[in-house]
Every structure is written in C-alpha cells, then in structure tokens.
A and B are shown apart, each in its own frame.
Chain A
C-alpha cells in the first residue's frame, strides 16, 4: 500500500508504467524492423556464434543474452555471453597436476666460502660506474 502510494506520487519510481513498457516494446520491434534480419537468420547467427565461442570457453547458458538494439537508426547486435571458465586445453598457466617428481630435480649446492666474493665484486662494479 505504501509503495503503491509512493509510486503514484513519484511516477518516475515506477518502472512498470505503461510509458516505459511501450518504449521497451517499440525499441525491440524497431530494432527488428530496421535490421531486415529474419528471426531465422538471427537464430542461426546466434547458434553459430555460440558454437565458435564455446570452442574456447564454457558459457553460462542461463544468463546469456543475445539481442538486436537500435540507437539513432543504427542497429547493433548486442550479445552478453557470461564465461564460466576457459576450456582446460587453452589454459595458459598449467595446473599443478603435472608436477615434476622431486628426485628428477638437479641438486642445488652452495659453497659457503665463496659467498662474500660475489658480494664484493658487485660492490666494486657499482663504485666504478
């Protein structure tokens, strides 16, 4: 009741107004009228684009959005394809599953007496430059 009253007093709050509704319906229908694309063409475009994108990534089928939009007499195809994850075969950083066994690692040793030397030579180099 209170919300209804507020909506009546401030009509701009009410997004379900018939004015907003007619604008949305018009924009959608005009985007199609202006594009000269048949629904069949749009559907096959959608399918093919999804096919290509799905080769690389897994998509969230429920949140997908694929529509024609029109502003200032220019039609554009707006697709929103939320990516769930990249397909494993395209990982750029490989996972830890292929960890190299420890015994294969080359041994690393250290010469305690030589530690100072390296430090000194680098200091000298800094002074010379």
Chain B
C-alpha cells in the first residue's frame, strides 16, 4: 500500500498546487511511482503547473460515474513516466463528489503507487473534506503571514479531529531579508506557533513564476534554484532521508545595517 498524503492549507494562494507538483516530480525523480490527484473540482490547476493540460481527456468524475476506467483518466508525464496525474473535473462543483467516493478512488490508486499526493482545494468545506477523506498523512502549507498561519492552525485542528495524526509543515515564500530586519515572522516563529513538525522551508523565489509559466516544475530545471532545491529536500525528507534545512539567514554585517537604515528612512 502506498502512502496517501493530502497537501492542504486552509487559505488559498499559499502554494499548495506548486508544492504538490514539485514534490510529486521530485519523488518521481527518485524513482518512486507517484500519482498526483487534483481534488480541486471546478477550479483545477495542477494540470497547468505540470504542463499536462492539453492531454487531459477524462477526469476523476468520469471514473466515478463509470464513463471511463481509472487508468484511462490518468495522464502520464512524458518527462517522467512514473509520475501520473488524476485530473479534477473543471465543469463540476465540489459537491459533485463525496468522501466515500474519494476513499474508493484513492484506495484503488494506493494499491499501485508508492505515493498518492492529493492536492486539496482552499477552504474547509466539502472540497477539503473530500481531499482528506482517504489521507493518512498531511502536508500543511503556509506562508509567514498572519492570515495564512491562522488558517493553517484551523486546518491542523481539523486534521487532528479527522484522525490524521501525521502532519508536516512547509513554510513557503519566506523572505530572509525581511526576517533579518524584523519585518516578517521567522521559520522558528511560525513553527513555534503551529507546533507541528517542520518538513521544509521554501524561500520566496521569482523562478517559481517562470516555472509556472512554462508548465515545468522547478525541480526539473537543469540549473539549481533555491526554491527547487528546497522542494527536492522536502521530497527526500518525506522519503525518510535526513536532510539539513537550507540556511536562509542573511549575513547581517554592520555595513548592510547602516545601508538599510538610510534606504529605509528615505
């Protein structure tokens, strides 16, 4: 049986789908058999981030309604054959699927794949309930902002209430320079508040937007990027390896502080 991991956050726009795409791809690069499941019915995006949007024919809803077999709906990645996508329906709402159906679908996938990564929609309503229905583990994505942390906290409470005991935290879009001048919460600040084990830290990186534009997850690009390395490290940790966290502290010499003072006061 493969591991079923839901990627969730509560708040929208913190990087759930980017995280799913990159971790999925990074695990595939480690020769694991991976399926990424888009559970965001009605607002699917995972196909775009993986660059697979033109190859989607059937969706999870078609499988559930018996219009196609499960293997027909799975889209195989051409770059990495051991990564497949189960797309969500775009012309349905989140209420068109229920948790029992999701459990059925996911347990069939878990028999074949090493990892089933479920990309949860934002919010804590039906779509979220569907996404977590079959999961035994969770990855909670947040950013160092007050609203994202508050929503993550709410989601962590709901995961515990739904008996998902194993949760890891990813802090996305951290800006070390802002942390250094006390204008952003640090990794320690956020982990202390949320009090679940830290799985990874991803620095704010413009390359993420470039990779989304191309439909090519960062971990695939030949040139190493900060965020890409961070996602690779997360995949390795998930896979049981012990990997040090990236050192994101800004070298804080007096000169830069003085410079900072003058640029700030203008």
Q: A residues within 8 Å of B by Cβ?
A: 5, 8-9, 11-12, 14, 17-20, 22-23, 25-27, 29-30, 33-34, 72-73
Contact = CB atoms under 8 A, between A and B. Distances in A.
B257 A8 contact: yes
B184 interface: yes
A27 B257 CA distance: 29
B193 A19 contact: no
B95 interface: no
Given A11-B182, A19-B182, A30-B153, A72 B195 contact: yes
A22 B146 contact: yes
Given A9-B257, A26-B193, A33 B181 contact: no
B150 A33 contact: yes
Nearest to A9: B257
Nearest to A20: B182
A58 to B, nearest CB: 38
Nearest to A15: B182
4 A-B pairs with least C-beta separation: A17-B182, A8-B261, A19-B182, A11-B182
Given A5-B261, A72-B195, A19 B184 contact: yes
| Interface of chain B: mostly helix, strand, loop or mixed | helix
Contacts of B71: none
Given A11-B182, A12-B182, A19-B183, A25 B261 contact: no
Question: Which residue among B153, B154, B182 has the maximum number of chain A CB atoms within 10 Å of its CB?
Answer: B182
A9 B257 CA distance: 6
A26 B146 CA distance: 6
B185 A22 contact: yes
A19 B189 contact: yes
A18 B153 contact: no
A41 B46 CA distance: 44
A18 B182 contact: yes
Contacts of B157: 34
19 contacts: A5-B261, A8-B260, A8-B261, A9-B258, A11-B180, A17-B182, A18-B182, A18-B183, A19-B189, A22-B185, A23-B189, A26-B150, A30-B150, A33-B150, A33-B153, A33-B154, A34-B153, A72-B195, A73-B156
A22 B147 CA distance: 10
Interface in B208-246: none
B254 interface: yes
Question: Which residue among B145, B189, B193, B254 has the maximum number of chain A CB atoms within 10 Å of its CB?
Answer: B193
B181 A11 contact: yes
Contacts of B156: 73
Contact of A17 (B146, B154, B183): B183
Nearest to A29: B150
A50 to B, nearest CB: 30
B170 interface: no
Given A19-B186, A23-B189, A73-B195, 4 more contacts: A8-B257, A8-B261, A19-B184, A33-B150
A33 B257 CA distance: 38
Contacts of B154: 33
A34 to B, nearest CB: 7
B149 interface: yes
